[in-house]
A = this chain, B = another copy of it.
Amino acid sequence: MHTDPLSAQFAALADPTRRAILARLSEGETSVNDLAAPFAMSLPAISRHLKVLESAGLVSRSRTAQWRPAKLEPLAMKGVADWIDQYRHFWESSFDRLDAYLKSIQSGSDDGSRH
A interface residues with partner B (beta carbon < 8 Å):
2, 4, 6-8, 10-11, 13-16, 19, 22-24, 26-28, 30, 34, 37-38, 72, 74-75, 77-78, 80-81, 83-88, 90-91, 98, 102, 105-106, 112-115
Contact = CB atoms under 8 A, between A and B. Distances in A.
B15 A14 contact: no
Contacts of A14: 2, 7-8, 10-11, 13-14
A30 B112 CA distance: 8
Contacts of A2: 14
A113 B105 CA distance: 50
Copy number of this protein in the oligomer?
2
Grouping DSSP codes into helix (H, G, I), strand (E, B) and loop, the A interface class, with mixed when no group exceeds half, is helix
Contacts of A11: 10-11, 14
12 contacts: A6-B19, A7-B14, A7-B16, A10-B10, A23-B86, A26-B87, A28-B105, A38-B114, A72-B87, A74-B90, A81-B81, A81-B91
Contacts of A86: 23, 26
A27 B77 contact: no
